[in-house]
Amino acid sequence: MADTKLNVQFEKISDKAKAATDQLRAAAQGTRDQLEAEAAKARDQAASAADKLKDKAAAVKDSGSSQWQELRGRWHTHVANARENIKWKEDQLDAKAAAKDADRAQDYALDAIDFAQAAIDEAEYAALDAMRARAESDALTS
């Protein structure tokens, strides 16, 4: 039996990824100032999402999801550290340093994409396992 809530939540992942892909394609045509504004907007949205995860982790602290809390905490720390290392430097005049900053930013983006893909795999497993557990429970109570 499919769990509608799980399906709806999982569909949000692909919707979000599609919207981000469209945004990246559109941003690639933008000017430096437009890219800076889009990056700032995305940074604020990501910070807000991280804060929501942190709040959710605090709310479910005693519900047996300590591994997820620990992962969320490490991710939040990782994001803060990475952002500190790849801040936009508007007054950057040194071409070599700017190229290194661009390389670091691109490496971070690729790492974040890899993490997201792994998280999707884990979410798929968790959703399927939850559906299996619900089906088993239903079978035992029938």
The domain containing residue 69 runs over which residues? 37-85
Give the total number of structural domains in the chain: 1
Is 68 within the bounds of a domain? Answer: yes
Q: What is the pLDDT of residues 24-61, one digit of tens each?
A: 898 889 888 898 888 888 888 888 887 777 777 666 66
| Percentages of the chain per state (helix, strand, coil), in multiples of 5 | 85, 0, 15
Distance CA 8, CA 14 (A): 11
94 DSSP assignment: -
For residue 127, tell me if it sits in a domain: no
Both structure tokens of 27: 């941003």
The verdict on pTM exceeding 0.75 is no
132 found inside a domain: no
Q: What is the SS3 assignment for 136?
A: helix
